[in-house]
């Protein structure tokens, strides 16, 4: 480990945080002004922040010889990068520009939290060198990022739907896209997030076998993870078979994301599990 390398990684992360905050400001201005140039600058700022953020994690990995996923601060940092990557992907895939109003403030909040959490490392650093754990972490965070954006699209859907039903032509009604675009984007995010979550759980079970000798140990984190997966599986089933779209789906995506947050943070902090070593 070199002091210079650690400082470089930290510097890159602080620059990334600055760009994320700049992007957040840009998207808030875009919400009010509705000028394409503002949205373009905000998007470029978010993308530049994501690149610097990625380089920070790569630098940290090279310097310390392991992926930085040892504690709460580092895991929040990875979550923020995953959300940035997911936002940029769906921004171009769905053309839903207004999604940045939800995504960039959330990214900024996550990164600010990661920088504010006191740094501490687990003693058993060999665990994070396991390729299955690295795959598990990457897939889970990308899946959760996509599902977070589904939640964001769901919130925007409910706001727009309320405005239309109330025949209001106020602030949000003029700035939000059609209900169909919001619903389709949310659905796309759910499918993508659920797929990644599925592969993330599979690689997690494989890692558990290599680390603890069992695919399944009944750990609270495992139970809540499966419960959340089943929730999204049921949501997709209802959309495909029972025609659950629009408002029902939007509400369920918000509830699902709340369950994800509890699985990520609440289980470790309130209940406890052997995953706690990565969130101290």
* 82 has a pLDDT exceeding 90: yes
Please, which pLDDT band fits residue 110 given cuts at 50, 70 and 90? very high
Count: domains in the chain: 1
**Has this prediction a pTM greater than 0.95?**
no
Say what the alpha-carbon torsion angle 145, 90, 179, 198 is, to the nearest 10 degrees: -40
Contact 108, 17 (CB under 8 A): yes
Tens of pLDDT, residue by residue over 131-147, are: 888 889 999 999 999 99
Contact 134, 67 (CB under 8 A): yes
Task: Quote the longest CA-to-CA distance of the chain.
Answer: 62
Tens of pLDDT, residue by residue over 146-182, are: 999 999 999 999 998 887 876 666 667 778 888 999 9
Please tell me the predicted confidence (pLDDT) of residue 275.
Answer: 57
* 76 has a pLDDT exceeding 70: yes
Cβ atoms < 10 Å from Cβ of 221: 20
Say what the alpha-carbon torsion angle 47, 52, 57, 60 is, to the nearest 10 degrees: 180
Question: Highest mean pLDDT: which of 58-67, 231-240, 271-280?
Answer: 231-240
Domain that residue 259 falls in: 3-278
Residue appearing with tokens 């690689």: 203
Tens of pLDDT, residue by residue over 173-212, are: 778 888 999 999 999 999 999 999 999 999 988 887 877 7
Percent of the chain with pLDDT over 70: 86
What sign results for the dihedral spanned by CA atoms 213, 144, 269, 250? negative
């Amino acid at each position: 480990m070199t002091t210079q390398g650690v400082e470089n990684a930290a510097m890159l992360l602080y620059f990334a945080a600055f760009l994320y905050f700049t992007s957040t400001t840009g998207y808030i201005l875009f919400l009010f002004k509705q000028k394409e140039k503002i949205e373009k600058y905000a998007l470029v700022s978010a993308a530049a922040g994501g690149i610097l953020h990625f380089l920070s994690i790569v630098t940290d990995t090279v310097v310390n010889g392991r992926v930085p996923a040892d504690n709460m601060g580092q895991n929040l940092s990875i979550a923020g990068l995953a959300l940035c990557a997911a936002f940029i992907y769906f921004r171009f895939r769905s053309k839903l520009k207004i999604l940045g109003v939800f995504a960039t403030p959330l990214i900024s909040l996550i990164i600010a939290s990661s920088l504010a959490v006191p740094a501490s490392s687990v003693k058993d650093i060999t665990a994070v060198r396991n390729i299955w754990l690295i795959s598990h972490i990457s897939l889970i965070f990308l899946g959760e990022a996509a599902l977070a954006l589904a939640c964001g699209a769901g919130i925007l859907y409910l706001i727009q739907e309320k405005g239309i039903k109330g025949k209001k032509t106020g602030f949000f009604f003029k700035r939000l896209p059609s209900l169909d675009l919001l619903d389709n984007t949310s659905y796309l995010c759910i499918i993508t997030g659920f797929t990644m979550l599925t592969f993330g759980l599979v690689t997690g079970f494989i890692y558990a076998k290599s680390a603890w000798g069992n695919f399944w140990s009944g750990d609270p984190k495992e139970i809540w993870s499966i419960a959340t997966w089943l929730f999204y599986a049921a949501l997709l089933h209802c959309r495909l078979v029972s025609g659950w779209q629009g408002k029902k789906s939007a509400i369920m995506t918000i509830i699902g994301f709340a369950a994800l947050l509890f699985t990520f943070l609440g289980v470790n902090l309130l209940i406890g599990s052997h995953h706690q070593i990565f969130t101290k």
